[in-house]
C-alpha cells in the first residue's frame, strides 16, 4: 500500500491514515468496502457506510478493521512480488493447462492479469487468496532437499534407472513409451509402499538372531549372502524409481506423474466447484427471453440497468463463491450485457 496515495503532504504513516482517508481514495474505498463485507456483520455495516448512515459503533469497528485491511494489503503486495513472470513460466512447465494459457496469453499478459486482480480477490474472497498463498509456499518448500538426497543415493549406489532408460531408447512411439514406463513405474511404486516398516522388522529379526557357528544345520554365510542380495535388489528397485522421479526427460516425467496420481483418491469438490455449476448456465436464447420479461418489470419499478444486471446474475448463482462460480458469473454477465 502506498501511503502517499492519500494526497497528503507530507505523507502520513500507516497509523495516521484514518478511515476517512481510506474512503476518500476511490480505489482504496472500493477495496475496503469489499474487505468489510467479508467481516462479521460487515454486509450491513458496508451498506450503512455507503449510505452515510454509519453509527458510532460502526466507526469504531471500521477503525479496527482498517488495520486488518492494511495487513491484508501487505500480504497481497508480498505475494504479488512472488508471482513473477519467471515463476509463472516455471509453473507452466509443470501444468499442461497453464502451459496452454501462457502460450496463448503470453507470460507477461498472464502476469499482468494476476497482479491487477489479486488485491480485489484478496478482499472479496480471502479463502481463495490464502489458498493461493498456501499453494505458493507448498510449491517452494522442500522439493529441492528431496531431490538432492535422491541424487546422493543414486551416486552412492550407482543407480542409473537403466531399465527405464532402455524403454525410452526402445521406441519413439510416445503412447507405447507411456504404457511400458507406466507399467514398470507402478510396479516399483508398489514395492516402495510399506517397505521401510517391513525392513525395520526384518532388520530387528536379523540383529536379534544369535549366530551359532557350531550349528551343522545352517550355512550362515550363505544365508547372509542371500539376504544381502535380496536387500541390494530391493534397494535398486526403490532407487530406480526414485531416480525416475527426478528425471527431467518429458516422457519420463509424464509417466511418473501419471502413475503417481493414478493411485491418489479423487479430491473432494469444493463449494462453488465445477460440478456445482451444472444446470446454472441457461442457453443464451432462454436467458434472453427470461431477461426481457424481468427487465420490463424492473424498469416499471425504476430499477437501474446496472442494479438489475447484478440482481439477475446473482439470481442465477446465489451466494456461490469459488473459481468456477466466478468464471460462470463472467460468462452470464458478459452475455446479459449484450441484451
Partner 1 sequence: MANDFSALYSQFKEIIETGSEDQAEKFLAAHINEFPEDMQQGITLALFENGLKEVATNQATMQDFQQEGINAVHELEKGNRILDDKLKILDLQEKI
- Residue numbers 128-147 binding partner 1 by CB under 8 A: 128, 131-132, 134-136, 138-139, 142-143, 146-147
Exactly one of 23, 284, 294, 295 binds partner 1 (CB under 8 A); that residue is 284
Q: Which of residues 93-112 bind partner 1 (CB under 8 A)?
A: 94-98, 100-101, 104-105, 109-110
Does position 55 interact with partner 1 (CB under 8 A)? The reply is no
Which string of x and - marks every residue 57-96 that binds partner 1 (by CB under 8 A)? --------------------------x----x--xx-xxx
Q: Which of residues 246-275 bind partner 1 (CB under 8 A)?
A: 257, 260-261, 264, 267, 273-274
Contact 119, 76 (CB under 8 A): yes
Exactly one of 46, 242, 252, 313 binds partner 1 (CB under 8 A); that residue is 242
Does position 331 interact with partner 1 (CB under 8 A)? The reply is yes
Nearer of residues 65 and 245 to partner 1, judged by Cβ: 245
Q: What are residue 106's phi and psi, to 5 degrees? A: 75, 140
Contact 129, 122 (CB under 8 A): yes
Q: How far is the CB of 255 from partner 1 (least distance, A)?
A: 13
CA–CA gap between residue 65 and residue 59 (Å, rounded): 10
Exactly one of 55, 68, 149, 215 binds partner 1 (CB under 8 A); that residue is 149
Which string of x and - marks every residue 14-53 that binds partner 1 (by CB under 8 A)? ----------------------------------------
Q: What are residue 2's phi and psi, to 5 degrees? A: -105, 115
Q: Which helix (H) or strand (E) holds 314?
A: helix 305-317
Torsion of CA 143, 144, 146, 151, to 10 degrees: 140
Q: Which of residues 158-217 bind partner 1 (CB under 8 A)?
A: 189, 192-193, 195-196, 199-200, 202-203, 206-207, 211, 213
Contact 49, 62 (CB under 8 A): yes
Distances (CA, A) of 93 to 88, 168, 196, 257: 9, 21, 32, 13
Exactly one of 26, 216, 221, 301 binds partner 1 (CB under 8 A); that residue is 221
CA–CA gap between residue 261 and residue 182 (Å, rounded): 11
Q: Residue 131 is placed in which grid cell?
A: 489458498
Amino acid at each position: 500500500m502506498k501511503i502517499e496515495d492519500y494526497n497528503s503532504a507530507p505523507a502520513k504513516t500507516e497509523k495516521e491514515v484514518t478511515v476517512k482517508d481510506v474512503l476518500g481514495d476511490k480505489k482504496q474505498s472500493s477495496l475496503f468496502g469489499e474487505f468489510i463485507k467479508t467481516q462479521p456483520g460487515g454486509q450491513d455495516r458496508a451498506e450503512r457506510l455507503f449510505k452515510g448512515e454509519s453509527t458510532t459503533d460502526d466507526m469504531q469497528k471500521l477503525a479496527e478493521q482498517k488495520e486488518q485491511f492494511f495487513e491484508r494489503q501487505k500480504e497481497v503486495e508480498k505475494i504479488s512480488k512472488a508471482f513473477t513472470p519467471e515463476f509463472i513460466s516455471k509453473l507452466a512447465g509443470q501444468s499442461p493447462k497453464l502451459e496452454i494459457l501462457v502460450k496463448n496469453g503470453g507470460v507477461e499478459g498472464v502476469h499482468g492479469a494476476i497482479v491487477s486482480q489479486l488485491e480485489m480477490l484478496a478482499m472479496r474472497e480471502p479463502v481463495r487468496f490464502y489458498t493461493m498463498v498456501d499453494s505458493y509456499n507448498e510449491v517452494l518448500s522442500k522439493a529441492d532437499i528431496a531431490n538432492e538426497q535422491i541424487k546422493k543415493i543414486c551416486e552412492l549406489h550407482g543407480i542409473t534407472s537403466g531399465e527405464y532408460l532402455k524403454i525410452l531408447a526402445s521406441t519413439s512411439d510416445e503412447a507405447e513409451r507411456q504404457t511400458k514406463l507406466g507399467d514398470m513405474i507402478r510396479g516399483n511404486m508398489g514395492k516402495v509402499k510399506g517397505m521401510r516398516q517391513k525392513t525395520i522388522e526384518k532388520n530387528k529379526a536379523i540383529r536379534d538372531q544369535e549366530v551359532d557357528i557350531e550349528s551343522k544345520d545352517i550355512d550362515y554365510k550363505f544365508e547372509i549372502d542371500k539376504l544381502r542380495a535380496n536387500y541390494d535388489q530391493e534397494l535398486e528397485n526403490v532407487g530406480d524409481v526414485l531416480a525416475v522421479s527426478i528425471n527431467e526427460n518429458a516422457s519420463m516425467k509424464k509417466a511418473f506423474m501419471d502413475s503417481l496420481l493414478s493411485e491418489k483418491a479423487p479430491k473432494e469438490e469444493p463449494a462453488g466447484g465445477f460440478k456445482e455449476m451444472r444446470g446454472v448456465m441457461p442457453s443464451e436464447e432462454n436467458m434472453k427471453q427470461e431477461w426481457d420479461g424481468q427487465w420490463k418489470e424492473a424498469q416499471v419499478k425504476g430499477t437501474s440497468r446496472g442494479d438489475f444486471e447484478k440482481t439477475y446474475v446473482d439470481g442465477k448463482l446465489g451466494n456461490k463463491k469459488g473459481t468456477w462460480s466466478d468464471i460462470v458469473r463472467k460468462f452470464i454477465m458478459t452475455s446479459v450485457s449484450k441484451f
